[in-house]
Structure 1
Amino acid sequence: MTVAKLTMQDKAAMAEIDPVWSRMRSEAAEIVENEPLLGSLVHAVVLHHDTLEDALSYRVSQKLASPDMPALILRDLAKEVLSADAGIRQAARADIVAVYDRDPACHRYVQPLLFFKGYLAIQSYRIAHHLWVSGQTDMAYYIQMRTSEAFGVDIHPGATIGKGVMIDHAHSIVIGETARVGDNVSMLHSVTLGGTGKEDGDRHPKIEDGVLIGAGAAVLGNITVGRCSRVASGSVVLKSVPPCKTVAGVPAQIVGDAGCSQPSQSMNQTV
C-alpha cells in the first residue's frame, strides 16, 4: 500500500499503533493555528507526511543537502535506510521521548524534529551508521561531514549509539569511530568521546546505559564509564569509572555515588 492510497481509516489505524507520531501531528496543527507564519515550515516538515519516517527523511535531507548532493537524492537514501532498519525507526521515537522527558526547554514531542539540532544530528548519524555497516563507507563519510557542518556534531559513522539518547544544545560534540554509547544516555554540549593519540584499533570510550555526561567533559581512550554514572562538567576522564559513581576533575576522580538510580533521566548535575 502506497502513501497515496492511504484512507482515513488507514491513518487512524496508524495513529493507534504510532502514538508518538500521532501526538506530533496534533502538536504541529496547534503550532499552525497559534503561529501562522510557521505554517509553511510545519506543513512541509510534519503535516504533509503520513509517517515519522517520511517526515524525518524530508527534514534530514533538507538540512544536509548541498551543491554536491541535492536534497532529493538524500531523501530517497534516507527513506531507503529507514525502511530497511527497524532499529533506527524505534530509536527515532525513543530519542524524541528522551528529549521531551529530560529537556526542560522541550514542551512538545514535535519540537526536536522541527527545532533541535541534537536530535537531527543523532538521526543523521543513525543513517550514516547503517550505510557504514552496509559497506557504503564513502556515503557514510559524506553524511558525517555534512552533519558536522550543519549541526556542529561530529560522530564517526562507525561509532555505536543506543536508543533514548539526548544531546542537549549539541554544540561541538565529538564521538570517535570505536566509541560505544548505550541506551538512555544524556550528554550536554562540548562533550568529547575520543582517543588519546594516533593508536589504531579499539581506542575510544564505552559509555554504558543511563550515563550522564556534563558540558565540556572529555572521556578519552578505550575505557568504560559504568552504567548510571555521572561525569561532571569540564572533567577529563582517563580511566574507567565503576557503575553508579560520580567523577569530577582533571584528571577525573571518583567523588561520590551517582546520587540517584537514573542520572541521565534526572539530569541532576550537582556534585
Structure 2
Amino acid sequence: MQNRQEIANVSGLDPVWTRIQDEARSMVADEPRLAGLVHASVLNRRNFEDALCYRLGQKLASGEMTEGLVREILIEAHEDDPTLGQAARADAVAVLERDPACHRLIQPLMFFKGFQAVQAYRVAHRLWHRGRVDMAYFLQMRTSEVFGVDIHPGAVIGRGIMIDHAHSIVIGETARVGDNVSMLHSVTLGGTGKEDGVRHPKIGDGVLIGAGAAILGNIEVGHCSRIAAGSVVLVEVPPCKTVAGVPARIVGEAGCDQPAQSMNHLLMERSTLDE
C-alpha cells in the first residue's frame, strides 16, 4: 500500500495535477473572493488525490458525519487503491474533452457534480468490495442527497466517464458501464421488476446515452452505440447502432466511430430535416 507521502511524490510527474494547480492560481487572480476556497481545495493540497478527497469531504459532510471523518474514509480508500485516482484523472479529462461548457480541468474538481458524484461512487464501490457494505451505502445515500445521482456501490463503471448535468441519474446494483461512456441527465440503468440476481443493463465502451433515456433489464448495449434522448430500451442493442423511441428501435448507424466523444445527438442531418 502506498502511503500519503509516496502518493505525493508522484505529483511532480502528474500533468493533470500540474495543470489544475496552474488553473487554480489563475482562478484566484481572476476572482479573489474565491481565493480561500481555491487555496483550501487545491493550492494547499499535496496532490490530486488529496484535493479530490478534500473537495468531496466538503460536499458529503453532514450532521451525521463530519467533514474530517468523511475525508479520512476517502483518503484511506485512495491510499488502498491508487487506481481510484487514475480513474478520476481519466474522468476529468473526459469532461474537458466532451463538455463544451468545460474549459479548464479544475472545473470538474471544483464545480461539476457529475464528476464529483462518480468519484464518490468509486470510493463506495471500493468499500463495497472490501466488505464495508454499510459505509458504502452511507456514501451512496449522501451522494444521492447532495448530487441527485444514485449509483449503487455494487455497480461496475469504467474509466473516462462523463455525466453531463447529472440530474436524476440512477444506476442499479448489477449494472455494468464500460470505458469512455457519456450520458446526460435523467438516465436510468434499471431493472424491470423484483427479480434477484443480474438484472441491470451492460453498457459497452464508447456508448452515448441521451437525456432521459431508460435502459431496463439484463440486456447488453453494444460498444459505440447511441441511445437517443427519451428512449426506453428493453432489448439488446447491437454495436455501432443508433436506437430511438418508446420502445426503442434501431433507426440507423451510430454515425461515427466514437459517439461518446463526438457527443452528436442528431438522428439525421439538418439538411434532411429542412427538406
Instruction: Confirm whether residue 57 of structure 1 aligns to residue 53 of structure 2.
Output: yes
Specify the alignment match of 1:186 in structure 2: 182
SS in 2 for 1:69: coil
Report the Cα offset of residue 2 of structure 1.
Answer: 6.1
Match of 2:174, as an amino acid? T
The separation in 2 between residues aligned to 1:258 and 1:162, in whole angstroms, is: 21
How many residue pairs were aligned? Answer: 263
- Identity of paired residues, percent? 67
The separation in 2 between residues aligned to 1:173 and 1:209, in whole angstroms, is: 19
Specify the alignment match of 1:209 in structure 2: 205
The separation in 2 between residues aligned to 1:105 and 1:238, in whole angstroms, is: 32
The separation in 2 between residues aligned to 1:88 and 1:244, in whole angstroms, is: 29
The separation in 2 between residues aligned to 1:244 and 1:156, in whole angstroms, is: 27
Instruction: Confirm whether residue 79 of structure 1 aligns to residue 85 of structure 2.
Output: no
Specify the alignment match of 2:150 in structure 1: 154
Deviation digits for residues 13-50 of structure 1 (CA, Å, limit 9, x no counterpart): 733x2000000000000000011011111111111102
Instruction: Confirm whether residue 218 of structure 1 aligns to residue 214 of structure 2.
Output: yes
Instruction: Confirm whether residue 235 of structure 1 aligns to residue 231 of structure 2.
Output: yes
More off after superposition, 40-49 vs 104-113: 40-49
Specify the alignment match of 2:241 in structure 1: 245
Instruction: Confirm whether residue 198 of structure 1 aligns to residue 194 of structure 2.
Output: yes
Which residues of structure 2 form unaligned runs of 5+? 268-275
Specify the alignment match of 2:273 in structure 1: none
The separation in 2 between residues aligned to 1:218 and 1:188, in whole angstroms, is: 11
Match of 1:202, as an amino acid? V
Match of 1:130, as an amino acid? R
Instruction: Confirm whether residue 163 of structure 1 aligns to residue 159 of structure 2.
Output: yes
Specify the alignment match of 1:266 in structure 2: 262
Return the match for 1:121 from 117, 120, 125.
117
Report the Cα offset of residue 158 of structure 1.
Answer: 0.2
Deviation digits for residues 90-130 of structure 1 (CA, Å, limit 9, x no counterpart): 10000000000000000000000010000000000000000
Instruction: Confirm whether residue 175 of structure 1 aligns to residue 189 of structure 2.
Output: no
The separation in 2 between residues aligned to 1:2 and 1:58, in whole angstroms, is: 14
Return the match for 1:91 from 71, 87, 100.
87
Whether the 8 Å contact between 2:94 and 2:160 is mirrored in structure 1 is: yes
The separation in 1 between residues aligned to 2:236 and 2:265, in whole angstroms, is: 20
The separation in 1 between residues aligned to 2:41 and 2:261, in whole angstroms, is: 28
The separation in 2 between residues aligned to 1:204 and 1:14, in whole angstroms, is: 38
Report the Cα offset of residue 89 of structure 1.
Answer: 1.3
SS in 1 for 2:18: helix
SS in 1 for 2:150: strand
SS in 2 for 1:265: helix
After the TM superposition, list the runs of 4 or more consecutive aligned residues in structure 1 that deviate by more than 2 angstroms.
none
Query: Could you say what the CA RMSD is over the residues aligned between the two structures, in angstroms?
Result: 1.1
Specify the alignment match of 1:14 in structure 2: 11
SS in 2 for 1:105: coil
More off after superposition, 82-91 vs 159-168: 82-91
SS in 2 for 1:193: strand
TM-score, structure 2 as length reference: 0.94
The separation in 2 between residues aligned to 1:174 and 1:219, in whole angstroms, is: 10
The separation in 2 between residues aligned to 1:262 and 1:158, in whole angstroms, is: 27
Report the Cα offset of residue 154 of structure 1.
Answer: 0.1
Specify the alignment match of 1:48 in structure 2: 44
Specify the alignment match of 2:105 in structure 1: 109
Deviation digits for residues 200-222 of structure 1 (CA, Å, limit 9, x no counterpart): 10000000100000000000000
The separation in 2 between residues aligned to 1:52 and 1:110, in whole angstroms, is: 10
Instruction: Confirm whether residue 141 of structure 1 aligns to residue 133 of structure 2.
Output: no
